Chain A
Amino acid sequence: MKTTYLAGVAALALSAGMTHAAGHLEFAPGDGDFNWDSYNAFADANDLSGQTITVTGPWTGLDAENVEKVLAYFAEATGATINYSGSDSFEQDIVISARAGSAPNVAVFPQPGLAADMASQGLLTPLADGTSDWIAENYAAGQSWVDLATYAGQDGAESLYGFFYKVDVKSLVWYNPEAFDEAGYDIPETMEELKALTDQIVEDGGTPWCIGLGSGAATGWPATDWVEDMMLRTQSPDVYDQWVANEIPFNDPAVVAAIEEFGYFAKNDDYVNGGASAVANTDFRDSPTGLFSIPPECYMHRQASFIPTFFPEDSESDFFYFPAYAEQDLGQPVLGAGTLWAITNDSDASHALIEYLQTPIAHETWMALSGFLTPHSGVNTDLYATDTNKALGDVLLNATTFRFDGSDLMPGEIGAGAFWTGMVDYVTGTDAETVATGIQDRWSSMN
């Protein structure tokens, strides 16, 4: 068959991410346009020699290496030892170890819903006073980040439990500029144009989309992002919020319509690489490679800002904003997500780590690596490793509406369970109404 990749891509991809920064810092303090003052000030104010902090999170592979490189600065500044462990099944591991009383000091939650759950069981420690004020002042749309991380504790009192660090933008369509250029396609500005482009590609004998929902036990989650994006493009943000809070039922016509909007792309054999039946089982990490094969297996891939990590090394890629309908007056909604750092095992050093995350240098060191976006307004955006990352930051800034990934806010059983499997059922044949009703039933049964 003629499914091909750029020569040498494999060799590079395999060796990618295997080099290990052994103890030394990626950027020597004092070099470059980093905010080293903030680093030095923090180093002077904190001495944690002899203390050890353990951090667990969902990142493995390249992301894990990056976070280790970034945390190395904290270790260097304070003298503390810091150990990061990433696991693909972080969500399970953290619950087990917290219940067992052997939780790490700091946990990095990809889903605020899970953090809220654990806070209500008394497994998290509230952050230091004043942190919420700091976030409100120094983060773009600061108050919304505070609200997303403020939960009721075991005693029912509300406090700030998490600090958002590393943000992803989700409303993006990735494409191969070379392929677009050769075929003479323009970047669509509206959803109508996007649909027209989709048909155009089919007419030209190509396949427009690569969609893959496979993700092991989490199979189905990429579809939830599609549906959320479609909700924001067909309904007002208020309706979106009501949906996430289950104030309108999951099988409300608005939600069913959004699911069907997703189905417009995913359930059409001509529109997706491998046909609709391949959608459910193709691994999400695997599916974008079709953009870069020769001839292209597909032209567009809707996925969050982290996905270039899984592109073949050396491949040229670009993205455009997943456009909104021109006919609907909903502005430029953007869907995003972020990881939440919370203290699962209290110690002075853990609080110092959260404090360190407030320094510009903590953000800049990761910005200069890859795959990192931040709403921190005090950082030097020239430090973003690529223009792509910088442009991603612009998407965040241009948004007229910003909404957090709804499935991450729903209770774990729905947002990380029924919603996923429901979407798999939907792409494999069940109709939207039935799927939505099933999810709503599960939600109702929880109360």
Chain B
Amino acid sequence: MSPIVQGLITIIVGVGGCVGYFFLSNLVLDKVIFPPRGDDAGRNINRANMVRPWLFLFPALFALGLYLVYPVIGSFVRSLYNRSGDEFIGFGNYTTMFAEEGFQTAFFNNFLWVIFVPAASTFLGLLVAQLTDRLSWGNIAKSLIFMPMAISFVGASLIWKFVYANDPDVGIINAIRFALGATQPLDVLQLSFWNNFFLMVILVWIQTGFAMVILSAALRGIPEETVEAAIIDGANPFQVFFKIKVPQIMGTIVVVWTTITILVLKVFDIVYAMTGGNFDTEILPSYMMDYMFRDDGRATAVAFVIMIIVLPVMIWNIQNARKEMR
């Protein structure tokens, strides 16, 4: 029972603490340090407004700094040292890594993942969002497609192992092949190159629901007038969708795309559980896990390569954010 009590206390202390922090710090700022009274009233309001953002940001920045920035910097330094961490070797880890065939495979596969999974999930999510928009049973359909989001990667891998199983009495893929006249079972996870896509399908299956929920909300937010105007002008449904709706929700599409891309770069569970990185299906996060706790220099170097891959997406996002601010 004690963990429950402990949990309840934390919820109260944690949540109460957060609310209390934000409320009290504002109170102190407004009433005590820079009270908007007396001669300096105007100046004090301005000063308080300069400080306030940092009050709002402080807890987040503190947690981010501690849990993400500090390890990133520490790890970058670590990646410049050799496996036991006692000799500085500059970019030695990076150069040996890039020369290695296993890494090249992982890099190439990861490239496929980053292109295919976000594209397919976003596209399918958009498609479902649009199709279910005016459907009487649209919400039910959406819930069902969203459902895989609730399943852990380990659970999802299990579900798909079942689909891909070699035995035509277990795996539906092979059962269909047999029904169509095949005589030898086929292990799709061993089909070189294409097996990557069979693994990606799992993540697409999970993430389409996410894309759908967000994009569906965005579609509903489009002002009716713009759509009506287009219809009056004689646009067909496809034109309405691609020329009127999609451009208006571009911002949301970017968000969805980015979120899924980031997820792709972190997920190692699927590859780990389905193939253990065998049959040339290794991707960078699972490659990194191979070296984790064995050769930390190499493992951290892989992490930085992952971060560099997303750089274009990051820059795109930052530019977007800039545009909005203006």
Contact across chains for B294 and A217 when beta carbons are under 8 A apart: no
Pair A277/B276 contact, Cβ less than 8 Å:
no
Answer yes or no: B265 CB below 8 A from chain A CBs.
Answer: no
Which of these, B187, B276, B290, B295, contacts A219 with CB under 8 Å? Answer: B276
The interface-forming segment of A233-241, A373-381, A417-425 is A417-425
**Which residues does chain A contribute within 8 Å of B184, judged by CB atoms?**
275
> Which residues of chain B in 258-276 are interfacial with respect to chain A, using CB atoms and an 8 Å cutoff?
272-273, 275-276
Is A187 interfacial (CB 8 A cutoff)? no
With an 8 A cutoff between CB atoms, is B277 at the interface? Answer: yes
Q: Which residue of A lies closest to B276 (CB)?
A: A219
Contacts of A445 in B (CB 8 A): 96, 100
Query: Known: A3-B169, A96-B293, A421-B278. Is A278-B187 also a contact (CB below 8 A)?
Result: yes
A39 to B272, CA, bound (A): 45
B294:A412 contact, CB within 8 angstroms: yes
Q: Which of B96, B275, B278, B295 contacts A413 (CB 8 A)?
A: B295
Q: Which residue of B lies closest to A219 (CB)?
A: B276
Cβ distance B31 to chain A, nearest Cβ, rounded Å: 44
Q: B278: nearest residue on chain A (CB-CB)?
A: A424
Instruction: Enumerate chain A residues within 8 angstroms of B168, measured Cβ to Cβ.
Output: 1
Which A residue's beta carbon lies closest to that of B272? A217
A216-B166 in contact (CB<8A): no
Are A95's CB and B169's CB within 8 A? no
Give residues 392-447 of A contacting B (CB, 8 Å).
Answer: 412-413, 417, 421, 424-425, 428, 438, 445-446
Report the bound CA distance from A92 to B290 in whole Å.
11
Residues of A with C-beta under 8 A to B187: 277-278, 280-281
Residues of A within 8 A of B272 (CB): 216-217
The answer to whether A425 touches B278, judged by C-beta atoms less than 8 angstroms apart, is yes
Q: Is B279 an interface residue (CB 8 A)?
A: yes
Query: Which positions 112-162 of chain A face chain B at CB distance < 8 Å?
Result: none
Is B190 part of the binding interface, using a Cβ–Cβ cutoff of 8 Å?
yes
Residues of B159-190 at the interface with A, using a CB-CB cut-off of 8 Å, are 166-169, 184-185, 187, 189-190
Taking A220-B276, A280-B279 as given, write out 12 further A-B residue pairs in contact, using a Cβ cutoff of 8 Å, ordered by the A residue number: A3-B167, A92-B293, A95-B293, A96-B293, A275-B184, A280-B190, A280-B278, A282-B166, A421-B277, A425-B278, A428-B278, A446-B83
Contact (A218, B279) CB under 8 Å given A277-B187, A413-B294, A445-B96: no
Some 11 contacts from A to B, beta carbons below 8 A apart, are: A3-B169, A216-B273, A274-B185, A277-B190, A278-B187, A280-B187, A281-B189, A412-B294, A424-B278, A425-B278, A428-B279
Q: Which one, A92, A99, A281, contacts B190 given CB within 8 A?
A: A281
Q: Are A428 and B190 in contact (CB under 8 A)?
A: yes
CB distance from A211 to the nearest CB of B (A): 14
A417 engages B278 (CB within 8 Å): no
Within 8 A of B (CB), among A259-282: 274-275, 277-278, 280-282
Contact A281:B293 (CB < 8 A) given known A424-B278, A425-B278: no
List B residues 109-160 near A (Cβ within 8 Å). none
CA distance A217 to B271 in the complex (A): 9
A274 to B190 Cα, complex, angstroms: 14
Residue of B nearest to A445 (CB): B96
| A3 cross-chain contacts in B, Cβ below 8 A | 167, 169
Give A435 Cβ to nearest chain B Cβ, in Å. 12
- Total count of chain A residues near the partner, CB < 8 A: 28
Q: SS class of chain A's interface: helix, strand, loop or mixed?
A: helix
Q: Is the CB of A281 within 8 A of B273?
A: no
How long is the Cα–Cα vector from A99 to B293 in the complex, in angstroms? 10
Chain B residue at smallest Cβ distance from A416: B294
B residues apposed to A, CB below 8 Å? 83, 96, 100-101, 166-169, 184-185, 187, 189-190, 272-273, 275-279, 290-291, 293-295
Asked whether, in the complex, the Cβ of B276 is within 8 Å of the Cβ of A216, the reply is yes
- Residue of chain A at shortest CB distance from B186: A277
User: A278, B278: Cβ atoms under 8 Å?
Assistant: no
Residue ID in chain A nearest B165 by CB atoms: A281
- Chain B residues closer than 8 Å to A218, beta-carbon distance: 276
Closest to B277 in A: A421
Q: Across the interface, which residues of A come within 8 angstroms of B189, CB to CB? A: 281
Q: Quick one: closest A residue to B279, CB to CB?
A: A428
Please provide the chain A residues from 1 to 60 with a CB less than 8 Å away from any CB of chain B in the complex: 1, 3
A127 to chain B, nearest CB (A): 25
Cβ-neighbour of B290 out of A274, A281, A417, A424 (below 8 A): A417
Bound complex: CA of A282 vs CA of B272, how far in Å?
A: 16
Question: How far apart sit A220 and B100, CA to CA, in the bound complex (Å)?
Answer: 21
Alpha-carbon separation in the docked complex, A217 to B272 (Å): 6
Pick the most buried of A278, A280, A281: most chain B CB atoms within 10 A of its CB: A281
* Interchain CB contact under 8 A, A219 and B294: no
> CB-CB < 8 A to B294: which residues of A?
412-413, 417
Q: Which residues of B contact A95 (CB under 8 A)?
A: 293
B179 to chain A minimum Cβ distance, whole angstroms, is: 14
In angstroms, Cα B291 to Cα A412, docked, is 10
Which residues of B sit under 8 angstroms from A274, Cβ to Cβ? 166, 185
Within the complex, what minimum Cβ distance (angstroms) separates B105 from chain A? Answer: 11
Q: B281 to chain A: closest CB distance in Å?
A: 11
A217, A218, A424, A446: most-surrounded residue (chain B CB, <10 A):
A217
**Residue of B167, B190, B278 touching A220 (CB-CB under 8 A):** B278
- Residues on B with C-beta less than 8 A from A277 are 187, 190
A281 CB contact (under 8 Å) in B101, B166, B277, B291: B166
Which B residues are CB-close (under 8 A) to A220? 276, 278
Shortest CB distance B98–A (Å): 13
Closest 7 CB pairs of A and B: A219-B276, A424-B278, A95-B293, A217-B276, A413-B294, A1-B169, A281-B187
From residue A378, how far is it (CB to closest CB) to chain B in Å? 39
**Chain A residue, CB-CB nearest to B295:** A413
The closest CB in chain A to the CB of B282 belongs to A421
Q: Which residue of B is nearest A411, CB measured?
A: B294
List which A348-379 residues lie within 8 A (CB) of chain B. none
Q: How far is the CB of B242 from chain A (nearest CB, A)?
A: 43
- A278-308 to B contact mask, C-beta < 8 Å, 1/0: 1011100000000000000000000000000
